[in-house]
Amino acid sequence: MKQYLVIGAGRFGSAVAVTLSKKGKEVMVLDKDEHVVQRLSEIVTQALQVDVSDGTALSSLELGEMDVAIIGIGNSLEASILATMQLKEMGVKTVVAKATTRSDKKILSRVGADRIVFPERDMGERVANSLVSPTIFDYIQVSPGFGIVETKVP
User: What is the predicted pLDDT for the residue at 9?
Assistant: 94
Among 50-59, 89-98, 144-153, the minimum mean pLDDT is found in: 144-153
User: What is the predicted pLDDT for the residue at 47?
Assistant: 97
Q: What percent of the chain has pLDDT over 70?
A: 100
Pairing between β-strand 136-143 and β-strand 68-71 as defined by DSSP bridges: unpaired
Q: What percent of the chain has pLDDT over 90?
A: 60
| Average pLDDT value for residue range 4-26 | 96
- SS3 for 125? helix
What ranges do the domains of the chain cover? 3-117, 119-154
pTM assigned to the model: 0.85
pLDDT at 145 over 80: no
Pairing between β-strand 146-151 and β-strand 136-143 as defined by DSSP bridges: antiparallel
Four-point Cα dihedral 105, 108, 114, 120, nearest 10: -40
Measured CA to CA, the distance from residue 114 to residue 18 in angstroms comes to 22
Question: Residues 45, 27: contact at Cβ < 8 Å?
Answer: yes
Mean pLDDT, the chain, whole residue set = 89
pLDDT at 124 over 90: no
The CATH number fitting domain 3-117, selected from 3.30.450.20, 3.40.50.720, 3.10.20.30, 3.30.470.20: 3.40.50.720
